[in-house]
Every structure is written in structure tokens, then in C-alpha cells.
Amino acid sequence: MDHFLYRDGRLHAEDVDLSQVAAEVGTPFYCYSTATLTRHFQLFDDALSWGPHLVCFAVKSASNVALLRVLARLGAGMDVVSGGEYLRATAAGVPGERIVFSGVGKTREEMRLALEGGVRQINVESEPELAALSEVAALMGAVAPIALRVNPDVDARTHEKIATGRKEDKFGVPLSRAREIYAEAARLPGVEVVGIDVHIGSQLTDLAPFEAAYLKVAELTRALRADGHDIRRLDLGGGLGIPYTRSNEPPPLPADYGALIERTVGDLGCEIEIEPGRLISGNAGILVSRVVYVKEGEGRRFLILDAGMNDLIRPAMYGAHHDIVPLAEPAPGAETREHDVVGPVCESGDTFARARALPPLAEGDLVAFRSAGAYGAVMSSEYNSRPLVPEVLVDGHHVAVIRPRPTFDEMIGRDTIPPWLA
């Protein structure tokens, strides 16, 4: 469910007419719904109400500080994977005790940043990282709370580029060596074992891989406790998928996911942490774009937009589908034609959809890419020297630009010419 609906023939974000936003801020732009963010967070929070828990939003999916502030006020924790994301979370008002620091390549500088500012736990992904963290913490006179990320070798049955829990993936340590590495951690001076971390991938639409992974986590928890470790938290990752097209069978609901967690690990008495990103932010955002040209090719019709792959890279990078809808509501039973929907970037890969059936559209018309709130703006770039697009947040009838579009002068002004070329 989202809050982008037609009203009086025009697509609205909650109570805001998106065509009016386009007139004021220009296109393309991202727009987010506070009501959708709120509802989706609360679904996860409610799903774990059977026990102690913390829902940590995956900042990598949507990192604008205003969006993080919305979630922070609801009591969300944050899952961060870089020093920059840590600082965004703290800037949004999230205390360190609600921040989990994940990621396979943390630097010593990032470790110091988190330990100085406060952190709930650091999810360690390798033995070299474990040694480095202990060294950094000991030099600071600190003790880092850690969970070891274990790789359960479970196929998440998702896209190759977003699967993270198989033995050939770069994340985590092998489950077969977990007890050995936990024993090593217990001997180090700068770390304190508090839990276990697992994350098997993103955009999962089946609960079976989660169940397989969590049963292995339950078994490991019992074994580690028998070894003398105080395992009191289980970080079960994120990855629950969203429906990118309304014609698809919907993925499992957060309530089903919460029930699975209770069934597999609920008897262990651990505090549960989860790290959803896409299911909270994905359907809470859209990308609005304008038709530049309608081009008749030989046997194909091209809809050329002012948004490009630099603004929304998911279709080019993953072959991802986004529903594309006009801002002006089509008449019931309106005729459709097949279009190749493309952008202006000088790449053949700058293609959003092929042979997509759309209602009649003309130069100047506005369209929206649905379900663009996750991994949209955060993965955008200035390729082809195209400025980053604005981000807009709506709350009821309120609307605000939460990231302005930079001018060309601002974009170019970040470059410097060395003295010998002046």
C-alpha cells in the first residue's frame, strides 16, 4: 500500500497534487510520502511486538536526513554501512544506542567514529576486521559491542547482484568456523560479544530462505551459549521484498515474517533486531519525469524522458521493473500502445522499459515511476554532467524540498583547476 493515488484525475502524494510540485521544482524529482513511511515502519514494529526488539532501518536504501528523521521519531534504529551513513543517522537525531554498524570493509577511522559517537553494536564480517576493531577500541580505552556476521550458505533466490548469504558471497564468516572465531573474539581485549548477525539478501519474496537461515542461527545460538558466550541479541538482517508491479503476487507481509521469526528463534530469549530498508522506503517514493519527445522509430515507439539512468539506475543495473504511470489519470478503457521508455543519457543502457504498454502520451506530459523510494536517489549520480535531482517530502498537505537541485555553477564549481593550468 502507498499514498500515491489519483484524485480528480490527477496523481497526488497524500493531499498534494504532483503536477503542481513539478511546476514549482521542475522535473525530474523524487517525492516521498510520510504516511507510507510511517505505515510501513509500524507494520514491522507491530510484527515483532511479541518480544523485545528494535527495527533498524537500512540507511543504504534511502539516506536523506529528513526521511531518517521521520523514522527516528517513530523510534526506529538505523543500520549503517559507512561513516557517512552513521553521521546521517546522528544528524537525524538517532542516538548511538540505536545504531548498528554493518558492512564488509569498515576502516579504522569509521570504527573510531562509531566508538566515539556511541554505537549499539558493530557487526563484524571477518577475522582481520575483528582484530582491527579490538586494536582500535583498546587504544581508545573502549570496548566495542559486537555481533559476528555468519554466512549460513542459504540461497536467497533473488537477483544475483543482491544475494549475500551464499558461501561464495563476500559477506560474513563461514558458519562452519563461527564457534572458532567467537572463541577468538572472547580472548580479545577491545570487544564484547553480544549477539549473532545474519543477512542473506535483498528483495526476497519467499519466506523459506529466511526460515532455513534462522534455524541455523538458532542452532548456533545454543552452541555458542554452551561454549560460554552471552548471546543476547540476534540481528536477523532485512531483505523482505516489495511488489514492483501491481500485477504480481504480493510478497509475504511483515506480520508473516514476524511470525516466522517467533517460530524459529523466539524461544531463545534474545532481543531481535531486523534491518528492513526496501519494504519501508520503496513504495514510499516515486520519481516524476517529463516527456521530452515521442519518437517514432522503425517498428518501435520511443518515449524519451528527462530522467535518465543516472537518476534511477535500477533498470539498467538490475533489469528492474518499475510501473510507469501518467500523472493525468487515463480515461477508463483508454487505448494503450507499446513504448520503449528511455532517458537522455548517452548510453544504450539508458532504458527504463521495452515494449511497455502505456496510454497515449505527448511531449510535455508527466509520468511517475512507482516504487522508486529505495535505491533510487541514493544510487543517483551526475553522469553526463546532469545535476542530481531534487527530493521532496510530503506530509498531508505539507510539502518541502528536502534536497534541492544544484545549479550547473554549483556542480562545476566543485572542480578545481591546478595552478599550472591556470
Confidence band of 158 (pLDDT split at 50, 70, 90): very low
Confidence band of 170 (pLDDT split at 50, 70, 90): low
Looking at residue 155, what is its pLDDT?
61
* Mean pLDDT (whole number) for 371-394: 97
pLDDT tens digits along 73-103: 999 999 999 999 999 999 999 999 999 999 9
Start and end residues for every CATH 3.20.20.10 domain found in the chain: 103-274
Looking at residue 154, what is its pLDDT?
75
Looking at residue 179, what is its pLDDT?
96
* Mean pLDDT (whole number) for 324-328: 97
Give the percent of the chain with pLDDT over 70. 95
| pTM (2 d.p.) | 0.94
* Least confident interval from 23-27, 155-159, 321-325, 335-339: 155-159
Confidence band of 168 (pLDDT split at 50, 70, 90): low
Looking at residue 149, what is its pLDDT?
95
Domain over 4-31+282-413 is classified CATH 3.40.50.10490: no
pLDDT tens digits along 219-262: 999 999 999 999 999 999 988 888 776 655 678 899 999 999 99
pLDDT tens digits along 185-217: 999 999 999 999 999 877 788 898 899 999 999
Start and end residues for every CATH 2.40.37.10 domain found in the chain: 4-31+282-413
Residue 337 predicted with pLDDT over 60: yes
Residue 165 predicted with pLDDT over 70: no
Residue 145 backbone phi and psi in degrees, to 5 = -70, 130
Looking at residue 377, what is its pLDDT?
98
For all residues of the chain together, what is the average pLDDT? Answer: 93
Looking at residue 250, what is its pLDDT?
76
Annotated catalytic sites, by residue?
346
* Mean pLDDT (whole number) for 10-22: 98
Give the percent of the chain with pLDDT over 90. 85
* Mean pLDDT (whole number) for 400-412: 98
Looking at residue 241, what is its pLDDT?
83
Residue 167 predicted with pLDDT over 70: no
* Mean pLDDT (whole number) for 294-314: 94
Looking at residue 161, what is its pLDDT?
42
CATH for 103-274? 3.20.20.10
